[in-house]
Structure 1
Amino acid sequence: MNQTFIKKLINLSSIIGILATIALLIYGYQAGIFSSAEQLSYMISQAGIWGPLIFIFIQIIQCVIPIIPGGLSCVAGIILFGPFYGFIYNYIGILLGSLINFILARHYGKPLIETIVSKKTYNKYISWLDRGKHFDKLFALAIFMPVAPDDFLCMLAGLTKMTYKKFITIIVLGKPASLLVYSLGLTTALEAIMKTLG
């Protein structure tokens, strides 16, 4: 299975993911699921414990293979489960997904990364590996910021000599701030759009 085929498969899955998201949003709107917080909460409660577990699993997969836009899944978590639990479930899913990215890169190296990420992103950040010990500081700072390509950077970290302990510490401590800013920012923007359309 060559890299070109895998890239095409990933691109196809991303398109399918976006279309499925749009279809679910349209269905939810027509079914009245998004008409009130009560309706949304009722739908989630019907899924029981499976609701959060399915969402966390989707977030994990999303970190490794971008099926739907990452920001959209973060917002979905907050809309579906509320600010507190939505943040917790997003955090758990992204933490586990980030660790998987690190492990995959450590075991399969650059060929895997080149297959999954775009050439533009790869070329922009691959030079970080030449920074030696400064990579760890750059990585920690990037994880803390809400605009960096975290999933790719976690893979990049897997190519370095960074220990699992240091990686997990950086992710655990750095992720909450960026996730909070990112999720709440997108949620606020979405609410403003909904008010405008309403």
Structure 2
Amino acid sequence: MSNPRFISQIKGILRFLAIATLTTLVIILVNHYGIAQLRAQVEELGVWIPLGIFVLRFTSVVIPALPGTAYSLLAGSLLGFAQGLLIICVADLLSCSLSFFLSRHYGRGLVTRLIGERWIDRIDQLSQRHLERNFFLMTGCLMTGFFDFVCYSVGLTQTPWIKFAPALLLSIVISNPPIVALGAGLFEGGKLLLGFSLLGMFGLAIITGIVRSRMEKSGN
């Protein structure tokens, strides 16, 4: 039988490798072409690059086993902060909503087929935390790296969409800008964007720590 902690560690390593590989690839392209020329070529491709990033991010949320953070960095680096943030936020809003409704209407069986047996335990654990009873805890969980699992788990509860939607919107507005700004700031040389992104990511790390601590207490 698979060890959940080992699987979680493997997922973390794969996510890190995906982010590192994608970031390295973008850096190589930027050094070779220059950010201005690279973005000019992106503009020549029209909607295909934004659409591609949207599809990748959307899929990585609906299928939580796939890493999605790298696409936020990619969106910021190739599309700039404003357009990149818009693409990521729309992708998150639609994909998280889809995950919620799939879980709500089709139940645990479909969720298991979508994400696999190895990840369904995490969904069950989150469902048992009764996140729907605490709006701020639910919002905090949606701002962490396991927000994709949270959408499925909340859908399995009796939480109405009218209560889930504000938490989802708030989490998207707060958690996405720092990561997209990091991608944009790294390749634009923008000290303000970089400073904002680092402060934002530090804040998200604190929120993640608080959320994990409260979830552990609620589980005891």
Q: Normalising to structure 1: TM-score of the pair?
A: 0.68
**One of 149, 153, 156 as aligned partner of 2:153:** 156
1:100 CA displacement: 0.8
Q: How many corresponding residue pairs? A: 171
Name the stretch that deviates more: 155-164 or 65-74: 65-74
Match in the other structure for 1:141: 140
CA distance in 2 between partners of 1:26 and 1:163 (Å): 42
Q: 1:49: Cα distance to partner?
A: 2.3
Is residue 63 from structure 1 mapped to residue 71 from structure 2 by the alignment?
no
Q: How far is the alpha carbon of 1:125 from its aligned partner?
A: 2.1
- The gaps in structure 2 that reach 5 residues or longer are 1-9, 190-220
Partner deviation per Cα, 1:148-196 (whole Å, 9 max, x = no partner): 411110111111222222222221222111112344457768999xxxx
Which digits, 9 at most, give the CA deviation of each residue in 1:22-77, with x for residues without a partner? 58965983x66764111221221121123222322222111112474211111011
Letter paired with 2:94: L
* 1:118 match: secondary structure: helix
Rounded to whole Å, the distance in 1 between the matches of 2:121 and 2:181 is 28
Within 1, Cα distance between the matches of 2:129 and 2:176? 23
Paired residue for 1:128? Answer: 129
Over the aligned positions, Cα root-mean-square deviation in angstroms equals 3.5
Which residues of structure 1 form unaligned runs of 5+?
Answer: 1-10, 193-198
Name the residue aligned to 2:169. Answer: 172
The two structures have a TM-score, normalised by structure 2, of: 0.62
Q: What percentage of residue pairs aligned between the two structures are identical? A: 22
CA contact (8 A) 2:22 2:70 kept: no
Residues 142 and 88 from structure 1, CA distance in 2 versus in 1: closer, same or farther, beyond 3 angstroms? same
- CA–CA distance in structure 1, aligned partners of residues 186 and 79 of structure 2: 18
Indicate how the Cα distance of structure 1 residues 28 and 109 shifts in structure 2: closer, same or farther if over 3 A, else same.
same
**What is residue 53 of structure 1 aligned with on the other side?**
51
Q: Give the secondary structure class of the aligned counterpart of 1:84.
A: helix
> Do the aligned partners of residues 112 and 185 (structure 1) sit closer, same or farther apart at CA in structure 2, a change above 3 Å counting?
farther
Distance change (3 Å), C-alpha of 1:32 and 1:151: closer
- 4+ aligned runs moved over 4 Å, structure 1: 21-28, 31-34, 185-192
CA distance in 2, matches of 1:79, 1:40: 10
CA distances 1:91-133 after superposition (whole Å, capped 9, x unpaired): 111111101110111122123334516256345423213x6x5
- Change in Cα spacing, 1:108 to 1:190, as seen in structure 2 (3 Å) is farther
Q: In 1, Cα distance between the equivalents of 2:112 and 2:151?
A: 14
Spell out the pairing of 1:1-198 with structure 2 (5 A cutoff).
22=21, 26=25, 29=28, 35-66=33-64, 68-115=66-113, 116=115, 118=119, 121-122=122-123, 124-129=125-130, 134-143=133-142, 145=143, 147-184=144-181
Contact in 2 for aligned 1:71/1:183 (Cα 8 Å): no
